[in-house]
């Protein structure tokens, strides 16, 4: 073995359980064992894909790749003869290089699991690995401390004596290896079988008695039987559970989103609406497509939500509902449009764009949460054969990321369009994907990754990648969204006081939330004596409170779905005070009567700090320079607001 840098040798032997640190999240080195063509690389790649998907950083170190980098031209099976000393030196050096890289992966890259994909068929080779592990602090039955971390070794041996399985593996995988790119198929098959014979000469399987101090699982004939020994932590438990669920039976998995929903049309996320007319057409088209595929023993899975159930009903076959397949929970943003989220929660909108995978909606879920929720679904999919999963956009992205080995960064931006079926066919080292668009038009719900994710970005930058939808198209028409129907300014002098009353009435003509601003310049000696909101003929009068108290009342009212506002004035060049109001007009409820939240009304907020006097009911208040007034209205089915300030 080659020597290793000194930093890899720093360790303290922990001889007793009492002195051993009780770590619970220890890095793990997985060592594959078995003759060629027994599915070791298949298991390595599949296990690595699963562990990375659930958030455990994992990397495969395939010894064959190290060999091909050193010996770029493969001649024949004689390279693997145990009496070929020159070849044995090369093979040992390749193993040493792989183990060095594994050590670097744990110490420098902070990896969690390393999979050493090699035959490791002799006790001598496995002894070298265990010695390497012990010298560098790994735990292979006994405990060792390494940089204050325990590192664990777990063996996976694949045993197969079924000639049909072995031959199928050779024909599907091994003959397409770079080793045989210039070989005839028959020649390659003969050479590979001789290579296996070379390994058989020195192959010593893991022994239940002699190796009882080691942690391992033995898999017989691709899962017909298992032998598990000394499972030590939760990672090993999950690995064993996963390996006991996978199989190699040919099958296809069909993924489809539900048909277009009513909320999809409106550009609203989440919710539990039914299908639109186009969505119902897609449900029928999906049924015809599935019948045309002639799928044997097909199982159909849906979520608990109306739109997936309605889509499955058209199939006319039994289906199973999974709560785990429900769409990602958007929390406080459920049934909102992206435009509304940006208007009411701009910071949250930006934070989600900064890390869409890990961002969790307030009172909702993140994509990371969704992956963990879907783990039982993946386990069951691995056990099943042909399955049609009718699900949702975020759910489909998570499932697709598992089968296609996509990173957490790419997962939230995978394209899963409506009215399209994806057919996934698992292969030896990957997955074949076929896409079928069923020619039923639907809205686009995919939002691309934005370029500007800064919290201070402008609204138009935040909404740059928001897809078109019915309401968005309406707002882009020439028709003005907000119409000022009345605007009156009345002046009078009463007892040496000049009183100016400003009234404005504004109508929101669209069924989408819109904002407007109103400003009134006051002289430095003037003050606000009254502020009211009139909605549906009912007048709501503001009150003066300390800023902190007013803010609490305002926030509480807003959470309850009430119309609420804060009033402020700010000094402008010491000549005027600008009384500034911003008003958020909710959608026209008569247009959107079927929407669940049609009674949620606008909140009114006022920019600037009240550093000048602020007065109501003709009583001057000038002791507290931070006085604010607030007004709260009940939830009403209004279309317009009357703003009145004296």
Residue 168, CA atoms < 13 Å, CB-side half-sphere? 14
Task: Spell out the residues 6+ positions from residue 612 whose beta carbon is closer than 8 angstroms to its own.
Answer: 524, 527, 569, 570, 571, 577, 625
76 to 84, 362, 469, 539: CA distances (angstroms): 12, 61, 62, 93
Question: Shortest CA distance to 151 belongs to which of 113, 185, 182, 203?
Answer: 113
User: What is the C-alpha to C-alpha distance for residues 589 and 597, in angstroms, rounded to an integer?
Assistant: 9
486 to 90, 181, 482, 638: CA distances (angstroms): 89, 82, 12, 16
CB contact at 8 A, 453 and 351: no
Q: Which two tokens stand for residue 392?
A: 């949702």
136 to 7, 109, 337: CA distances (angstroms): 9, 16, 54
User: What is the C-alpha to C-alpha distance for residues 405 and 430, in angstroms, rounded to an integer?
Assistant: 8
261: exposed, middle or buried (C-beta count within 10 Å: 0-12, 13-18, 19+)?
buried
83 to 95, 119, 201, 202, 516: CA distances (angstroms): 18, 17, 10, 11, 86
CB contact at 8 A, 370 and 631: no
262 annotated as a binding-site residue: yes
CB contact at 8 A, 448 and 413: yes
Q: Which two tokens stand for residue 488?
A: 């009156």
221 annotated as a binding-site residue: no
Please give the positions annotated as active site.
Answer: 258, 327
Place of tokens 């064993």: 240
Q: Which two tokens stand for residue 635?
A: 């939830």
CB contact at 8 A, 543 and 630: yes
259 annotated as a binding-site residue: yes
Question: Shortest CA distance to 380 belongs to which of 301, 319, 307?
Answer: 301
Strand partners, 432: 425
User: What is the C-alpha to C-alpha distance for residues 352 and 373, in angstroms, rounded to an integer?
Assistant: 20
352 annotated as a binding-site residue: no
User: What is the C-alpha to C-alpha distance for residues 185 and 188, in angstroms, rounded to an integer?
Assistant: 5
CB contact at 8 A, 62 and 45: no
Neighbouring CB atoms inside 10 A of 208's CB total 11
DSSP secondary structure code for residue 146 in this structure: B
φ, ψ for residue 104, nearest 5 deg: -65, -35
449 annotated as a binding-site residue: no
| CA dihedral of 177, 181, 186, 188, whole degrees rounded to 10 | -50
User: What is the C-alpha to C-alpha distance for residues 546 and 359, in angstroms, rounded to an integer?
Assistant: 35
Neighbouring CB atoms inside 10 A of 614's CB total 26
Binding residues: 257-264, 307
Binding residues for substrate: 257-264, 307
């Amino acid at each position: 073995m080659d020597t290793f840098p000194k930093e890899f040798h720093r360790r303290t032997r922990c001889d007793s359980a009492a002195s051993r640190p009780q770590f619970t999240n220890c890095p793990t080195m997985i060592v594959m064992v078995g003759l060629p063509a027994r599915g070791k690389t298949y298991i390595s790649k599949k296990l690595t894909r699963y562990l990375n998907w659930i958030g455990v950083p994992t990397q495969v170190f395939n010894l064959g790749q190290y060999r091909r980098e050193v010996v770029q031209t493969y001649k024949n099976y004689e390279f693997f003869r145990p009496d070929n000393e020159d070849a044995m030196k090369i093979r040992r050096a390749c193993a040493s290089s792989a183990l060095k890289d594994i050590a670097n992966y744990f110490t420098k890259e902070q990896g969690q699991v390393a999979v050493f994909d090699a035959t490791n068929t002799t006790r001598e080779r496995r002894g070298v690995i265990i010695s390497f592990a012990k010298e560098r602090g790994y735990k292979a039955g006994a405990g060792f401390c390494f940089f204050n971390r325990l590192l664990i070794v777990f063996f996976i041996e694949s045993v197969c004596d079924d000639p049909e399985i072995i031959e199928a593996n050779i024909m599907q995988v091994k003959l397409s290896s770079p080793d045989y790119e210039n070989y005839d198929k028959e020649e390659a098959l003969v050479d590979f079988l001789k290579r296996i014979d070379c390994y058989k000469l020195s192959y010593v399987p893991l022994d239940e008695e002699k190796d009882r101090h080691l942690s391992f699982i033995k898999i017989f004939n691709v899962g017909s039987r298992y032998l598990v020994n000394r499972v030590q932590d939760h990672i090993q438990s999950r690995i064993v559970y996963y390996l006991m669920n996978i199989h190699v039976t040919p099958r296809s998995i069909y993924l489809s989103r539900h048909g277009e929903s009513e909320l999809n049309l409106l550009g609203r996320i989440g919710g539990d609406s039914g299908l639109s007319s186009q969505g119902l057409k897609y449900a029928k088209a999906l049924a015809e497509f599935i019948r045309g595929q002639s799928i044997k023993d097909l199982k159909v899975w849906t979520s608990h939500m109306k739109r997936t159930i309605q889509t499955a009903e058209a199939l006319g076959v039994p289906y199973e509902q999974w709560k785990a397949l429900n769409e990602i929970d958007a929390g406080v943003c459920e049934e909102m449009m992206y435009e509304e989220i940006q208007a009411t929660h701009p910071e949250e909108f930006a934070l989600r764009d900064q890390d869409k995978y890990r961002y969790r909606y307030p009172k909702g879920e993140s994509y990371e949460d969704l992956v963990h929720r879907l783990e039982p679904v993946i386990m069951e999919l691995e056990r099943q054969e042909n399955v049609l999963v009718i699900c949702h956009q975020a759910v489909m992205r998570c499932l697709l990321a598992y089968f296609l080995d996509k990173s957490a960064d790419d997962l939230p931006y995978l394209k899963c369009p409506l009215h399209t079926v994806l057919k996934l066919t698992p292969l030896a080292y990957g997955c074949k994907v076929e896409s079928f668009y069923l020619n039923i038009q639907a809205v686009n719900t995919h939002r691309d990754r934005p370029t500007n994710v800064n919290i201070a970005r402008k609204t138009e930058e935040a909404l740059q990648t928001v897809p078109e939808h019915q309401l968005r198209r309406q707002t882009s028409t020439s028709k003005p969204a907000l119409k000022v129907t009345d605007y009156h300014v009345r002046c009078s002098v009463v007892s040496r006081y000049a009183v100016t009353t400003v009234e404005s009435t504004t109508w929101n003509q669209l069924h989408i939330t819109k904002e407007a601003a109103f400003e009134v310049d006051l002289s430095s000696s003037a003050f606000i004596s009254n502020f009211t909101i009139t909605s549906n003929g009912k007048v709501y009068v503001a009150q003066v409170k300390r800023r902190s108290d007013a803010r609490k009342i305002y926030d509480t009212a807003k959470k309850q779905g009430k119309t609420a506002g804060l009033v402020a004035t700010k000094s402008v060049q010491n000549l005027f005070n600008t009384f500034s109001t911003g008003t958020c007009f909710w959608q026209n409820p008569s247009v959107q009567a079927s929407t669940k939240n049609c009674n949620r009304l606008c909140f009114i907020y006022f920019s600037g700090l009240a550093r000048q006097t602020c007065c109501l009911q003709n009583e001057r208040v000038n002791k507290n320079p931070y006085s604010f007034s607030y007004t709260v209205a009940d939830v009403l089915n209004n279309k317009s607001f009357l703003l009145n300030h004296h």
